[in-house]
Structure 1
């Protein structure tokens, strides 16, 4: 998995939640992911999804700071680890689906937490650029031409590993990820059947 990255959890208590990949390559074979808590160590309405409030926890030795390079970056309580209100959970890779550009609503609590704000801002910008069309007005937000205004003139760039859905032709509706690009052809591995399909780029 890329680091950092967003993933959707496929099953269990956090099914359909979007999580932040905290450690993509741990030694125990499980992926460490930050997600909004589903269970709280204090009274909350049933079904609540919110950031954990450290100030509602006991003010005693049961809450321990987690530090990195001398800085407090989170805390542990009752065998759980929390970072800015998000809880750290571990999942097998096959229970996670990579999400390249989640909707802002799906990462709202990650935004509120303030954890890795630069990556969250980059995610929001990437999501909005999906809807740019040739001829749209746009402002450049980074690089030598930052703040310049112009019109959109671009083409979609695909890379190996990208998740794709076919929107036209005999394979319309097929979903999978690109495993090879050669000349003007995609080689796509279908998500369901795992069969390889060759598709024309244009």
Structure 2
């Protein structure tokens, strides 16, 4: 959509540093570095956002989904919401697809250490989801019924530091936040896939206001 409206999209280019009026970047294929100038800069780099702007603390959380082979659960005319044992407001979703495959997810696990470029689904996540599923279905679902798994990372804004609140990523708010640095960089973090349009709107509105830009309706 952005490219169709005239935006220039640069792939395989890494942002090294941001200011309110530009970015220092590096071509990951050639190693060449350069400057990009702009009237406004929005940091929407997800789980890497705190590496580009000071004063932001991100708690990455891994969410894993499984793909089960067709018919391993028998006829499944509707999806399921399975309460996670010991939790008051967390569920595992079981979502049948038109081709017979079934999606099962998702986890909420903190990412320890360096944030990976590509999230992978570990066996611990796969086992956890199979155990929760097995707690409510009569048909045994085995590891070889899993034909695929995929994972993503949530860029949760950590507001618990120094508060004594729970350190679990599952307890961190999913609400998005739009923050402006002292240099004028607008950062958007948090949120969910279902709120991406509101996140984009809030980030752009903030950039227009902070940088004094003219904008149409």
Same fold (TM over 0.5): no
TM-score by length of 1: 0.29
In terms of fraction of residues, the more helix-rich structure is 2
TM-score by length of 2: 0.27
Q: Which structure is higher in RCO with an 8 Å CA cutoff and minimum separation 6?
A: 2
